[in-house]
Structure 1
């Protein structure tokens, strides 16, 4: 079995191709008045219809999250009622960055290795509007993204004005991303945008649907299916609450469901000999908004993959960072 080109373990159509798991593989060889605009690109406070459900936007499933309260906290428990504002749009900036390195043997006869390193970073301004009469749907438009990658940055201007939507289950759990890049944009720009948004939603922090008090801890479990299917365990602590504003501390650990690593785009499979991926961060959530107000998360880890010859492993190191910032 020979794979001669870099392969991302989370493709554009799967999970987080530009996220923490995207290393190269080389082997052997409410009630307010709404806007008259019916989509996220208008200037009104809310979207009158979930336009992205019918305008030809690409639909991408987001893994569901199962939330279990570990500790209810101390003091009077109060519900974390999500009630998106319909009197104002939410403006945030999303930044994602991945750093990936892979070391693999170049041949069976030579004691040499091939080292590949990839870095991708994207900063995307987002204007989000809840659907006026549907608090489970969000419509959004994006401004012009930017990137430290000058080649990519030159393509991102065409994405200005691209639209999309997100569907939510109770407890701020995203279940589906819909994305419609501007038709004039090129494939690398579209791919980078999709990968960034998918990566962010894969790490969305849910809240319990039962009342809790400050100090409460809960656990979120997701199964993220990709080249390496993993169980994501997210442990969240409610460190403070002021009205609808929540301060959350987050710890994330990922473990493979099995030892199979399926190389996207081929029938080839590798064996996961070793795997680690974990991280932490903090988040500020406004229960009147569907996207985070601010926060960051950093994931780091690595893995060892083997093919036909277990003495010739591929070693990978991965890092993924996610930042939300409030925009004016």
Structure 2
């Protein structure tokens, strides 16, 4: 590869990113970070003499819906697996399950109790930077101070710098729908369980959510109707809708969509993982009536490059 294809530049503030976005030689930008950082870069890109696209991956709480039959059948196991996903990489995966939604009752109580015990035994991992850790502590402190959230469990505090203490909180759907602070992303290994009165309220909570990278359904065969009612809502709010998995697993493959409506990303038509991700940095060009000798090999008669292509609407391999 040519020298400079991959470069790493260190900086403690926003100046380097802003300078790169404003440089006339830059024609497109990919970004992973906070909502404030992504929107600031997008604004700078649009203020250039030649505006450019910014594909920013920003804020997502990745809701997990525990449907009734699955919750009743395997709530304890789901609680344990959930905390494993929550604490992966100190909760710094952008697909971290930061919100759990279910109908209140004994089955949900069993899930919360199981998850709470798992949280108490979850080791504190080191976060990437002091700034990320400070923001995490501030977010958790906000939940602790909230009159609308109840603390279920906290993990060991950890001894090292920037240690991420795992946390689990519970709130009612009524409070979640009216308290914007409960809907804010806490980037790290803390999650909020929202208790709903019934499946209709579960749907209202889903409809209230902002754009997400993922939405997960934990379901059994008896939950098909409940899932069918949620699916049209989730399709419009998430880039990836899954069943019976955990969102922290992101496979690099042709089918993967790692994107979603704002504020999950700044452009919901794209993905930052998978083969379709390259389209963010491509621009279509039409060659009309050019002689064969001027065309790229991939467009010439006879297909000398041997590429898969579409000719007059027919796939040619």
Q: TM-score, normalised by structure 2?
A: 0.27
Higher helix share goes to which structure?
2
Structure whose CA Rg is larger: 2
TM-score normalized by the length of structure 1: 0.26
